Amino acid sequence: MAKGTVETGGLAGVAAARVDGTRAAGGAPEQRKRPLRSRNRAARQAYQTRPVRGEGNNVIPNDIDTQAPVVSRHGVVIEAPVEVLWRLHTDVDAWPTWQPDITAARLDGPFAPGSTFSWHTSGLDIESTVYEVEPERRTLWGGPAHGIVGIHKWTFTPVEGGTRVETAESWSGEPIEADAGAMQAALDGSLVAWLGHLQTAAVRDISDARG
């Protein structure tokens, strides 16, 4: 089973993490930090040196941003064949039927590189672009939302007794740098919750198919 505290799914954790960014008074003085603009400029310059596909301004990530302030990785073995999990994972329009944290989702076109999908979760409207698809093996999507650049990767590996599902996501941007600790907890919780919902949906589908 995946480990962690179940929170809201996707970027929804950002809303909760933003509620209270205050810190307790009376602690040790904080060290001076570079202004956010300077740090963001350095981050962008570093990101531009990482492996990407595309030309000019059409930069297409080929993995999560491992240098982002917040990176989360979680995995679980689910007792279900990969084709069942892949169908649930890529049928974006049906996400709200098994992912309670997502109230609306719509894919524009096939689930393929270059397609976009919009989804609504916990008061946030998000639009993501599909970057990579390896059928029944790997997906990568992401994009900017509410000042945050998110990149989300999923992998599916058949193993004895089922399929190992691993997910990793990176968040960068000023809202993340403002309180990376709270954002890290929000992202960890969201990925653990998403894996749990996927597991529940897969087991239910298999049970229904058996009658």
CB 72 within 8 A of CB 169: yes
The share of the chain scoring above pLDDT 70, in percent, equals: 73
**Is residue 57 scored above 70 in pLDDT?**
no
Mean pLDDT of the chain: 81
Determine the pLDDT at residue 53.
Answer: 47
Where is pLDDT greater, at 25 or 173?
A: 173
Of 28-32, 115-119, 130-134, which range is least confident? 28-32
> What is the arithmetic mean of pLDDT over 49-60?
52
154-173 pLDDT, tens digit per residue, is 999 999 999 999 999 999 99
Q: What CA–CA distance (Å, rounded) separates 128 from 134?
A: 18
80-106 pLDDT, tens digit per residue, is 999 999 999 999 999 999 999 999 999
Domains of the chain and any CATH numbers: 69-210 (3.30.530.20)
Residue with tokens 């059928």: 135
**Is residue 196 scored above 60 in pLDDT?**
yes
> What is the arithmetic mean of pLDDT over 44-50?
37
**Is residue 50 scored above 90 in pLDDT?**
no
Residue type, 163: T
Q: Cite the DSSP H helix spans in 27-81.
A: 36-47
Where is pLDDT greater, at 36 or 128?
A: 128
Determine the pLDDT at residue 11.
Answer: 58
